[in-house]
A and B are shown apart, each in its own frame.
Chain A
């Protein structure tokens, strides 16, 4: 089945540690996105990538980093510089930057302990 796979589903991290969230898609989509979701708030865009080896900051990129070495993969690293990392993280993709529909993965819930 085509889709977006995020792993792990739940992740615990100690303060001061970096952690990487995985996102893989087999939809052959060019564009990929990372969103952060907090209770009572909508989704906020962290980073997006329109093509391989290219990515742009979204609205809340501070404390995060990404890479796009392969079309299928768009990992997100939450660094120790992110002051409040506990959240639900959603990865999404679309056929291209002009496509209207985004397809979402099932999310990773990150908790800092």
Chain B
């Protein structure tokens, strides 16, 4: 069975500072990994995904994530955050790559402070 752990439920950070949101997964087979963002009272939007190939994945809004198979991690990073990045971020895993079999983490609330 697959599972996802997001280690931090809340991450406050000052504007223009770098940020890392941590995600670890558990699976007995190869996985596909995703990061979604949710703005207040909105649906989720895909930030980036790792399916295969380069372990460094670039997404929208200047975010990137690195797949580390040995550490079973897929941490999300941004070198300089903006107030508009304030949102909840969800890491998700799928053993098949299919949206039907997504397992989501519990989310990390990123709050960017002025």
Chain A residues within 8 Å of B, Cβ to Cβ: 4, 6, 9, 31, 33, 40-45, 48, 50, 90, 92, 94, 97-102, 104-107, 109
Contact = CB atoms under 8 A, between A and B. Distances in A.
Interface of B: 4, 9, 32, 34, 41-46, 49, 51, 90, 92, 94, 96-100, 102-107
A45 B4 CA distance: 15
Contacts of B4: 42
Given A33-B99, A50-B100, A100-B94, A41 B106 contact: yes
Most-contacted residue by chain B among A40, A100, A107 (CB, 10 A):
A100
Contacts of B49: 100-101
A105 B41 CA distance: 11
Contacts of A105: 43
Contacts of B46: 101-102
5 contacts: A45-B102, A94-B98, A102-B102, A106-B42, A109-B41
Contacts, number: 70
Contacts of B105: 42
B104 to A, nearest CB: 3
A48 B100 CA distance: 7
Contacts of A100: 32, 34, 49, 51, 94, 97-99
B90 A90 contact: no
Nearest to B46: A101
Given A104-B45, A105-B43, A99 B99 contact: yes
Most-contacted residue by chain A among B4, B9, B41, B105 (CB, 10 A):
B41
A92 B41 contact: no
Interface pairs A-B: 6 shortest CB-CB? A104-B43, A42-B104, A94-B99, A102-B99, A104-B44, A43-B104
B81 to A, nearest CB: 22
B41 A94 contact: no
A41 B105 CA distance: 7
